[in-house]
Amino acid sequence: MEARVSTYAGPSERRAELLQALGRIAREVRQLDGFQGAYVLVGRTCGQLVTMTVWESAEAARDSAAEAKKIRTQVAEESGQTIKSVETYDVWLHLDPPQ
């Protein structure tokens, strides 16, 4: 598995717009080949917003990169945010909740 982590920055008063935009594009992201899940993290103290998408393989992450960039840019522009960084990580460990 592979994860793509994007960090956004911008006016805190427009964060709700970014969250709404991310909610609107969720269906598009879910339909990308190899998509395994996503998280949206909002830092209470730092004010940053981070998204993490998880892909079944490095190839799936690579193949989705162009479309993901288009979507990321669109939601950032809609909400007056900038994209501070986009990083890709190998998922070394994934824990499921206890049964």
**Could you tell me which of 84, 81, 73, 77 has the C-alpha nearest to residue 13?**
81
Q: Which tokens belong to 74?
A: 């669109």
pLDDT digits (tens, 9 = 90+) for 28-68: 899 999 999 999 999 888 778 999 999 999 999 999 999 99
Block residue for tokens 């460990």: 93
Residue 98 located in a structural domain: no
> Per-residue confidence at 13, pLDDT binned at 50, 70, 90?
confident
- Cα angle for residues 83, 65, 96 (degrees, 5° grid): 90
Predicted local distance difference test score (pLDDT) of residue 3: 97
Predicted local distance difference test score (pLDDT) of residue 44: 81
What is the secondary structure of 33-52 as a DSSP string?
A: TTEEEEEEEE-TTT--EEEE
pTM: predicted TM-score of the whole model, two decimal places: 0.89
Q: What is the CATH number of the domain that holds 22?
A: 3.30.70.100
Structural domain that includes position 39: 2-90
